[in-house]
Each structure stands twice: as structure tokens, then as C-alpha cells.
Chain A
Amino acid sequence: ETGVTQTPRHLVMGMTNKKSLKCEQHLGHNAMYWYKQSAKKPLELMFVYSLEERVENNSVPSRFSPECPNSSHLFLHLHTLQPEDSALYLCASSQEMAYTGELFFGEGSRLTVL
């Protein structure tokens, strides 16, 4: 496996379900990110981890809960979501948490909330 891998690729859940998205990076990077991609909207930064410590929580509702157990893995735990949370959730990594650091994105997890 190379690059940034996200699972599952597709997820359908009800508003009362609890699910998790998983991201794994094989690049030896120190920073990992969760982005939300919705149609006709800019990419929205949700969370940033640097060396496993959360650096940024960009005013994200508490129904999204991130976890970074080590520098290679990142999770996004989902519970009691709303239909407007349906989107593509992208994981990314970068060598360092720097403003010019190239972001390496995974292919995303397409979430549908019924």
C-alpha cells in the first residue's frame, strides 16, 4: 500500500447510527487532516493533527469525533449525524504542518446520511 488509504469508500448510515472512518498514510508524514468536500463548496478543514496531537478543531460539531492513535492512522468517529452531513470526507497528510506543505489526499469516504 502506498500513499493515503481511506476506508470505507462508501458509507450509508441512519441518523442514530455510530460509524467510523479510517485513514492510513504510508508516507512517513507527521501531520494528518480531515476535510469535508460538499458540492459547489470549498474544501472545509475539519481537524488537524500534528505528531498525534490535535492542533485544530475548526468549529466542527461534536457529532464528529477524531482520533489519532499514531502518526500513521487517523479516525473520524460519527454519531447522530444529520442529513446535511452527507458529503465526501477526505483524509490528507503532509510532511510537516506547514503552510506550504504539499497535502497528499486519500480517495475519500462518501458518506450518505438518511
Chain B
Amino acid sequence: QQQVKQSPQSLIVQKGGISIINCAYENTAFDYFPWYQQFPGKGPALLIAIRPDVSEKKEGRFTISFNKSAKQFSLHIMDSQPGDSATYFCAASNSGGSNYKLTFGKGTLLTVNP
């Protein structure tokens, strides 16, 4: 019940295209959903995050869409650029009790071709 399932495992997009990465979760107590971006040789860095009280959050070219009833959330990268090539991790956590742990997906390797 603590799993976060992320797909696809890898994604190749042409420059200017839209990249879409999907995540699904089972634990209905999850109430914080961040996305982390990791470039080769670097540690992950927070990209954008959402809480379930909104269905969408946009920051520049990056948008999180959240579907509470389906227990799914996704990352959309508009006008994808070669500089967006990285591994993206979705995650989820539960504010209830003392559970502060982030549960991560397995990651999606995004390649944006010039």
C-alpha cells in the first residue's frame, strides 16, 4: 500500500514536444506529491509539488495534474528542451501521525532530442 508506481521507465521526446510521466498510488492517506529531477552525476532536486486540494499546478513549462479519485498524478513538460533530459522521480507522503517518509517511484529517464 506504500508503493508509488511510475511509468514509463524511459521516454524519448523531440525538442518542442510534450513529455508526460505518470504515477499511481494506493495509499489514500498520501497528501503531498512532489516531483524530483536528477541530472547525471547530480543528486535529485525538487522540481514541483502538489497537494490534493488542487487538481493542477503549473510552474513555467512544468505542470502537475492530479486525479484524486483515480489516485493518479502526472508531470507534463511543455515545449520540452534538450536541457530537460534527466531522470524524473515522483513521490508521495502522508502527513498523518509521524509518517514523514517520502515514498518514491522508480524513476523515468527522459531524453529530449534536438
List residues of A whose CB falls within 8 A of some B CB.
Answer: 4, 40-43, 45, 48, 56, 90, 92, 97-108
Contact = CB atoms under 8 A, between A and B. Distances in A.
A9 B40 CA distance: 13
B100 A107 contact: no
B104 A43 contact: yes
B58 to A, nearest CB: 18
Determine chain B's interface SS by DSSP, over half rule: loop
A45 B102 contact: yes
B28 interface: no
B45 interface: yes
Interface residues of B, number: 25
B89 A43 contact: yes
Interface of B: 4, 9, 32, 34, 36, 41-46, 49, 89, 93-95, 99-107
Contacts of A90: 43-44
Contact of B93 (A92, A100, A108): A100
B43 A4 contact: yes
B32 A42 contact: no
A4 B104 CA distance: 20
A99 to B, nearest CB: 4
Contacts of B89: 42-43
